[in-house]
Amino acid sequence: MSPCYRLIISCPDQVGLVAQVSQFIASHKGSILEADHHTDLEQKWFFMRYEIDAAKLTLNLADFRNQFAPIAQKFQMQWQIHDVSIPKRVVLLVSKQSHCLIDLLHRVQEGELFCKIPCVISNHEDLRKIVEWYGIEFHHVPIESAQKEAGFTKIENLLAQHNAEVIVLARYMQIMPHHLCQKYAGKMLNIHHSFLPSFVGAKPYHQAYARGVKLIGATCHYVTAELDQGPIIEQDVARVNHRATPEDFIRLGRDIEKNVLARGLRYHLEDRILIQGNKTVVFA
Amino acid sequence: MSPCYRLIISCPDQVGLVAQVSQFIASHKGSILEADHHTDLEQKWFFMRYEIDAAKLTLNLADFRNQFAPIAQKFQMQWQIHDVSIPKRVVLLVSKQSHCLIDLLHRVQEGELFCKIPCVISNHEDLRKIVEWYGIEFHHVPIESAQKEAGFTKIENLLAQHNAEVIVLARYMQIMPHHLCQKYAGKMLNIHHSFLPSFVGAKPYHQAYARGVKLIGATCHYVTAELDQGPIIEQDVARVNHRATPEDFIRLGRDIEKNVLARGLRYHLEDRILIQGNKTVVFA
Amino acid sequence: MSPCYRLIISCPDQVGLVAQVSQFIASHKGSILEADHHTDLEQKWFFMRYEIDAAKLTLNLADFRNQFAPIAQKFQMQWQIHDVSIPKRVVLLVSKQSHCLIDLLHRVQEGELFCKIPCVISNHEDLRKIVEWYGIEFHHVPIESAQKEAGFTKIENLLAQHNAEVIVLARYMQIMPHHLCQKYAGKMLNIHHSFLPSFVGAKPYHQAYARGVKLIGATCHYVTAELDQGPIIEQDVARVNHRATPEDFIRLGRDIEKNVLARGLRYHLEDRILIQGNKTVVFA
Amino acid sequence: MSPCYRLIISCPDQVGLVAQVSQFIASHKGSILEADHHTDLEQKWFFMRYEIDAAKLTLNLADFRNQFAPIAQKFQMQWQIHDVSIPKRVVLLVSKQSHCLIDLLHRVQEGELFCKIPCVISNHEDLRKIVEWYGIEFHHVPIESAQKEAGFTKIENLLAQHNAEVIVLARYMQIMPHHLCQKYAGKMLNIHHSFLPSFVGAKPYHQAYARGVKLIGATCHYVTAELDQGPIIEQDVARVNHRATPEDFIRLGRDIEKNVLARGLRYHLEDRILIQGNKTVVFA
């Protein structure tokens, strides 16, 4: 595969934006493999994502950054450029439930999700064996109600040591402290086992069962300080009927959770998600 | 088509129930065309629905009722038996939006929904022409904020005059008074333009847009005194992305609303719904 | 609404394409409302669609066409530019079944589908009344097996007289002659009542029933000389189970057909579809 | 959990069937937990499945079989009764692809699929490690084009040695010989990576890509001698657009395949599938 960059931009909308950016790329012999634009006409805000074939590009990544900076400044861009060949470092946090973890580990191993998992952190020992079978470090960090702070300090240190760029709460049954939500804002993904905003908080499948819904769902979202209120990345649902018990909801839900989380994480790893306030632009 | 009855039963679960009911039917030469059973193991409650080919049945409907009564009493059944050939009388309430109305009128005309619509009632004049084109009476009953009670009294009278057995709020933008909700409990269907319990109340598509959901939905439910809290009959969703404006939500939502309401009404007309507390058993 | 143009381009992929097109638009003060690009990396072919806010554009449509022509030529573009405010002229062909027809008429009337329907043509009289109620001309053109050619000549003349730009076979149960397929290539949409390529030809629901499938579908596609083989625009499915009879398949199928055809037609009317060989790029 | 039996019956439809069966069960103090009936009105054939709480049943399984036999004979039933607590013995056949295998192993380990896997057989060594990690025997049986017969004889012996009651082709890329299809008729499940009957045979995702479909699918079916023509158990689809490459089809397809196969196998393990000619009744 030839070298490839991803250029991600969001900024106030303005005439001539696309022209300048595409002109810059073309003038340095960059070929655009995949291009997405979105203009939020209400907020007058512009979003774009380019995959650039860098085989003939006359700039390396450092030069690109330097030379593009004046354009970025002119248009007040928030922007990033990534070398596609460098995997993001993803730390998974889990509790006892294995379905999301195993699903993600398998997808990473198969190359479907392109990333590096330096370690998995859990408040229980249960999943150590399978994690280590995949050749990944496993850290048991208990979160005891009397000493939550100590536990999360340990987690914070582990994240730092492993240079975590992305954190995935793969059915991690603990509420992250505010300062960690802020520190990893837009980089921490959670899978919530309901179709948000329905059934926030604990035991959503039991809540759903009690309400008598005919579809259950799962939601992948970025974690913010307010529980289950962060920007939604992806959702999906499955049909249930009067025969389904809460246990059936949980069983059916696992399949939705796995798939929704895997899709959400793939979008994140491929820089397909741009956050706009409490919403997301997802160039799926 | 040969004569056909529908027998609908709910009662405390007990050994021998199915045996007695099916024995009763078989002994009178009734042939079962479609049978549904459901046991709620938690509540120990039993639900069933039979479609009975009455061609060779040695009982007419009145005799069936008389002779089945002792069994029903023994098992403390709530039960009904219907002659399938008698259409239910359905009154539609609408405001200005036409999509659900036209969809239902077309399905009734085509024979897909088997019922009789004696009249349509609206708080606006807008939809008179299309209703009358279908040969159906149209009543304009304004609901003015100062005189809501007068309006609803008029509606109540119209419902009584037309022997309404089912009421469908087909995007009727008024809140029904409590006493009407009670009077027609289990007989008044609403279509709510959100995936309940998300986005109760007004402007649910705008609420959904503001929250940044990735799926929108609609819910058909029985109306109870508490707004948008009645037993859910049917739900469905459609995918939206960051490009979709609130207007797109509304456009996409119309298709979900139409289909969900039509399915819900069909289940009701075919006696496929048994209410259990604030939930439904739907023998779809 | 301020004036708006749609620019649709497909051409061999080349470095600098986007830069030149966007530079052209920006230099004439055009603001891009919606932009879609697609590069087929295998065929090395490029597709784009721009919605351009023309409020401040310093070119009228004729000038745009003239001045853009050299760029178009340089890149060997197939291209079109449309004034969004001019509705396309759509002729509907129907037989006896009303569901797609009524659905489309309602959507057009409500403004959901922006087009002008100069007439409806049918080989039966059945749907005259509803068409005329919508204030649209209805032409009965019988297609008798001995005189098919005469019928289609009449249809061809009607299409010409009404300046048909788009033809929709809304459950029209006749096979279009080859020369009409060619004359209106990429402009004639059909709804086929199966999930193509399954169940080509007649009675697809009965074929599906006989095969015992668990999902049924419908397909909107462009008509080509080869029956049911044209480029697919849109498809959808619905779940069926062992209880469903062929009549249930037909009933459930109607809802899929309506929605799939309406979506396909909307994409076409909004110039969202670019044909590539026997496939479509749909900027949905 | 109290003891539980499953009674599965299919026979010509006749008045009094349900009455006799339910009377038999009630008279021996059996309580019905879940009941499904289906009458195929066209073929005049009857299907039923009961889950019977055997806690108070006055018959053991052998007695049930003996005493029910006369009823079964009278109504010409094909019937089975199973003790729910006895897991079926399932042998998995795989090639190199791991997604279905790992998915099934995980579901079995978690108790979601209740069965015993005595061994996994593969024509490649690739998946030995993960299978053995789950504590399951792995047999490598090469299928070389010159000596296919020898390979399948070895497989047949392994199936016999392990008392295989169910065989799952979990992306096994070999065509089973006719005599094995017959020997395990109604007991051998395959997952085909297309929405059958579309795209029979090899490389269905590439076929689907070439045809330009907008949805891709997967099908779980019983294996019969005719390739990909057996009774369909379960199907599902996922949406694709013009951006999706054949590799994307394959990636998206894996998720459908896993879920469809897991659902199909669960139905089979729970005796929810009754075969009727080339179709299935699935009491899901």
* Residue A49 · residue A66 · CB < 8 Å: no
* CA pair distance B98, C103, nearest whole angstrom: 12
Report the gap between the CA of B32 and the closest CA in chain C (Å): 14
C contact test, residue of B36, B99, B236, B242 with most C CBs within 10 A: B99
- Quick one: pLDDT band at residue B1, thresholds 50, 70, 90? low
Average pLDDT over residues D8-29: 96
B102 and C98 within 8 Å at the Cβ level: the answer is no
**Within an 8 Å CB–CB cutoff, is residue C41 touching chain A?**
yes
Each residue's pLDDT, cut to its tens digit, for chain C (284 residues) gives 678 999 999 999 999 999 999 999 999 999 999 999 999 999 999 999 999 999 999 999 999 999 999 999 999 999 999 999 999 999 999 999 999 999 999 999 999 999 999 999 999 999 999 999 999 999 999 999 899 999 999 999 999 999 999 999 999 999 999 999 999 999 999 999 999 999 998 999 999 999 999 999 999 999 999 989 999 999 999 999 999 999 999 999 999 999 999 999 999 999 999 999 999 999 99
User: In the prediction, which pLDDT does C205 show?
Assistant: 95
Question: What does the DSSP assignment read for C183-195?
Answer: HTTTTEEEEESS-
The token pair at B4 is 């056909």
> In whole angstroms, what is the distance from residue C134 CA to residue C100 CA?
15
What's the pLDDT score for residue B27? 96
Tell me the torsion sign for CA atoms B23, B26, B28, B34: positive
What class is the A4-83 domain?
alpha beta
Three-state SS letters, chain A: CCCEEEEEEEEECCCCHHHHHHHHHHHCCCEEEEEEEEEECCCCEEEEEEEEECCCCCCCHHHHHHHHHHHHHHCCCEEEEEECCCCEEEEEEECCCCHHHHHHHHHHHCCCCCEECCEEEECCCCCHHHHHHCCCEEEECCCCHHHHHHHHHHHHHHHHHCCCCEEEECCCCCCCCHHHHHHCCCCEEEEECCCCCCCCCCCHHHHHHHHCCCEEEEEEEECCCCCCCCCEEEEEEEECCCCCCHHHHHHHHHHHHHHHHHHHHHHHHCCCEEEECCEEEECC
- The chains found to touch C (3+ Cβ pairs under 8 angstroms) are A, B, D
Give the span between the Cα atoms of C12 and C35, in whole angstroms: 19
Provide the percentage of residues in chain A whose pLDDT is more than 90: 96
Residues of chain A with C-beta less than 8 angstroms from the C-beta of B237: 215, 237
* Number of neighbouring beta carbons within 10 Å of residue D59: 19
**What is the per-residue pLDDT for C1?**
63
C123/C142 Cα distance (integer angstroms): 4
A173: its two tokens: 């049954």
Contact C92, C164 (CB under 8 A): no
Does the pLDDT of residue D1 top 70, yes or no? no
Which amino acid makes up residue C97? Q
Question: What residues pair up with D78 in beta bridges, in sequence order?
Answer: D10
B234 and B267 Cβ atoms separated by less than 8 Å = yes
Summary mean pLDDT of chain A: 96
CATH 3.40.50.170 segments of chain B: 88-282
Q: Is A232 close to B211, i.e. CB distance below 8 A?
A: yes
Task: State how beta strands D166-169 and D88-94 pair.
Answer: parallel
pLDDT at B8 over 70: yes
Q: According to the model, what pLDDT value does residue D136 have? A: 98
CA distance B77 to B74: 8
C137 φ, ψ to 5°?
-60, 140
Q: For residue B185, which of B120, B230, B118 has the smallest C-alpha distance?
A: B230
Tell me the residues of chain A between 230 and 249 that have a Cβ less than 8 Å away from chain B. 231-237, 241-243, 245
Across residues D38-51, what is the average pLDDT? Answer: 96
Residue A217 one-letter amino acid: G
Residue D58 tokens read as 């006055």
Instruction: Give pLDDT, residue A1.
Output: 63
Residues ≥6 apart with Cβ < 8 Å to B104:
B92, B113, B168, B170, B261, B262, B265
pLDDT digits (tens, 9 = 90+) for D60-91: 999 999 999 999 999 999 999 999 999 999 99
- DSSP annotation of D176: P
**What are the Cα distances from residue C242, in Å, to B52, B248, C213, D231, D283?**
19, 36, 9, 12, 9
Q: Are C19 and A16 in contact (CB < 8 Å)?
A: no
For residue D53, the model assigns a pLDDT of 94
CA distance D223 to chain A (A): 26
- The answer, for A34 touching chain D at a CB cutoff of 8 Å, is yes
**D33 vs chain A: nearest CA distance in angstroms?**
11
Catalytic hit among A103, A228, A236, A271 = A228
Angstroms from B181 CA to nearest CA on chain C: 31
Q: In whole angstroms, what is the distance from residue C123 CA to residue C143 CA?
A: 6
Select from D99, D110, D255 the Cβ nearest to the Cβ of A259. D255
D196 touches chain C (CB under 8 A): yes
Q: What is the pLDDT of residue A201?
A: 86
Q: Is C228 a catalytic residue?
A: yes
Q: Which of B52, B1, B39, B22 is nearest to B271 (CA)?
A: B52
Q: How far does chain A reach from its first CA to its final CA, in angstroms?
A: 22
pLDDT tens-digit map of A30-85: 999 999 999 999 999 999 999 999 999 999 999 999 999 999 999 999 999 999 99
Whether the CB-CB separation of A4 and A53 falls below 8 Å is answered with: yes
Q: What residues of C are in contact with residue B254 (Cβ under 8 Å)?
A: 112
For chain A, what percent of residues have pLDDT higher than 70? 100
Residues in chain A: 284
Tens digits of residue pLDDT in A52-61: 999 999 999 9
D88-282 classified as CATH 3.40.50.960: no
From residue C71, give the alpha-carbon distance in Å to each of A18, A31, C18, C76: 17, 18, 11, 8
Residues D239-262 pLDDT 10s = 999 999 999 999 999 999 999 999
Query: What residue spans in chain D does CATH classification 3.30.70.260 cover?
Result: 4-83
pLDDT of C28 reads: 97
Which residues in chain D are closer than 8 Å to A262, comparing Cβ atoms?
Answer: 255
Among candidates A225, A232, A91, which has minimal Cα distance to A166? A91
Q: What rounded mean pLDDT belongs to chain B?
A: 96
Residue D201, pLDDT > 90, answer no
Q: Which amino acid is at D256?
A: I
Please say whether the beta carbons of B267 and B284 come within 8 A: yes
Residue D157, burial from CB neighbour count under 10 angstroms (0-12, 13-18, 19+): exposed
With a CB-CB cutoff of 8 Å, which residues 85-114 of chain B face chain C?
98-99, 102, 106, 110, 112
C-alpha span between C33 and A39 (Å, rounded): 6
If you average pLDDT over residues B3-25, what whole number do you get? 96
Q: Which residues pair with A216 in a beta bridge?
A: A238
Evaluate the CA torsion angle D84, D87, D93, D97 in order and state its sign: positive
| Among A214, A234, A263, the residue to mutate for chain B (most B Cβ within 10 A) | A214
Q: What is the pLDDT of residue D2?
A: 79
Q: How confident is the model at residue D205 (pLDDT cuts 50, 70, 90)?
A: very high
| Chain A contact for D81 (CB, 8 A cutoff) | no
In terms of phi and psi (left: phi > 0; alpha: psi -120 to 50; beta: otherwise), the region of C100 is: alpha
